[in-house]
Amino acid sequence: MSQGPNNIINPADVSEILIDQPNDIEKSSNMVHPAYAHKDYQIQGYNLLQKHRYNNFKNSFRLLQFFLVVIVLNFFQNSALLIANFNDQEVIEEEFYWGFHVLDFGQSFAFAFVEAIVLIKCGVITFQTGGAFTTLRSIFSYAMLMINVGGTLVAFILFLFKAEFWEVPAHWIEYSVQCCVILTSFVFIFGSQDKTSVIYKYRYLEAVIITATLVFCIMKLFFYGEVIEVEMGGERAAHFFEYPGEMFNDVFAFLFTVIRIRDVHTQMLQCLSGSTSGILKLA
């Protein structure tokens, strides 16, 4: 074996040892020069980091796919409720009152709950501390998520206690929470500091959709509170604004989720590409 200056082993000789005497290498690590062992540790650490990042992207990808299914189910459930609402209020109350309202309150809570999990787990809503405004916006976003989930849950539970007694308060809670969450969406969209995010990129289109949803939400409050009186009754008229508004929101959520899935898939591919190029640089 040849040695260079300062008794440093020639790399060519080390490669010959690795090829010709693998069993001896396994038995004794002293034959590997510390510089090569350090490289090996670097590569292993880099692999672990990239694997962790890739697994995070993969989990987000699967969660978004699941949410896509939930959105589609929610859309068609609102469609079914809208079709059922074409019956007179007396028919609804006599023939399918319980099932109609359980689906109404239940789907609102279920969708809000799943939506909150997806937004947090996929990093759409994160807690950031880059300044006073950023910190407040993060706290505000989390608070609105909790109010949305908590409010729809309270309305659902109250209705289950005694439907005839709690139906009106439950509807007021549900509608008020929905309007509150829609209003805060403007802060969430235009307060985004990440200029490359999907939310920021399509902020004006999102603002138009949210404005339309807010109009539907306010109108159903006017009709349900009989500020605007109609012959069919306030509750039934409010439902004609509630369900199309929810379907409109489902379409927006569907498009946003598809875009998000595309971005996460791109990040997964970049992670794999970066892992290969990073190992080549370290080797």
Least confident of 99-108, 162-171, 199-208, 243-252: 199-208
pLDDT, one tens digit per residue, over 219-229 is: 899 999 888 88
- Condensed to tens digits (0 to 9), the pLDDT of residues 127-185 reads 777 777 777 877 887 888 889 899 999 999 999 999 989 999 999 999 988 887 777 66
Q: Does a structural domain hold residue 41?
A: no
- What pLDDT is attached to residue 264? 85
The yes-or-no verdict on residue 118 having pLDDT over 70 is yes
- Average pLDDT value for residue range 233-251: 89
pLDDT tens digit string along 191-206? 555 566 666 677 788 7
Q: How many domains does the chain have?
A: 1
pLDDT over 50 (residue 63): yes
Q: What is the mean pLDDT of the chain?
A: 78
How much is the pTM? 0.73
Does 224 or 34 have the greater pLDDT score?
Answer: 224
- Computed from CA positions of residues 224, 153, 79, 254, in that sequence, does the dihedral angle turn out positive or negative? positive
Q: Is 104 contained in some domain?
A: yes
Whether residue 28 lies inside any domain: the answer is no
Nearest to 233 by CA among 84, 90, 82: 90
pLDDT of residue 37: 53
pLDDT at residue 278 greater than cutoff 70? no
pLDDT tens for each residue of 71-92: 999 999 999 999 999 999 999 9
Domain containing 274 equals 63-85+96-282
Q: For residue 113, is it within any domain?
A: yes
In this prediction, residue 245 carries a pLDDT of 85
Q: What is the pLDDT of residue 82?
A: 96
Residue 242 pLDDT greater than 60, yes or no = yes
> Would residue 152 count as lying in a domain?
yes
Q: Would you say 255 and 209 are in contact if contact means Cβ atoms under 8 Å apart?
A: no
Evaluate whether residue 156 is within a structural domain: yes
- pLDDT at residue 259, as a whole number: 83
Does 55 map to a domain? no
DSSP string for 91-151: HHHHHSHHHHHHHHHHHHHHHHHHHHHHHHHTTSS----SSHHHHHHHHHHHHHHHHHHHH
Best CA proximity match to 139, nearest among 152, 130, 128: 128
**Looking at the predicted structure, is the pLDDT value of residue 231 above 50?**
yes
Helix then strand then coil, in percent of the chain rounded to 5, is: 85, 0, 15
Residue 259 in any domain: the answer is: yes
Residue-level pLDDT at 258: 87
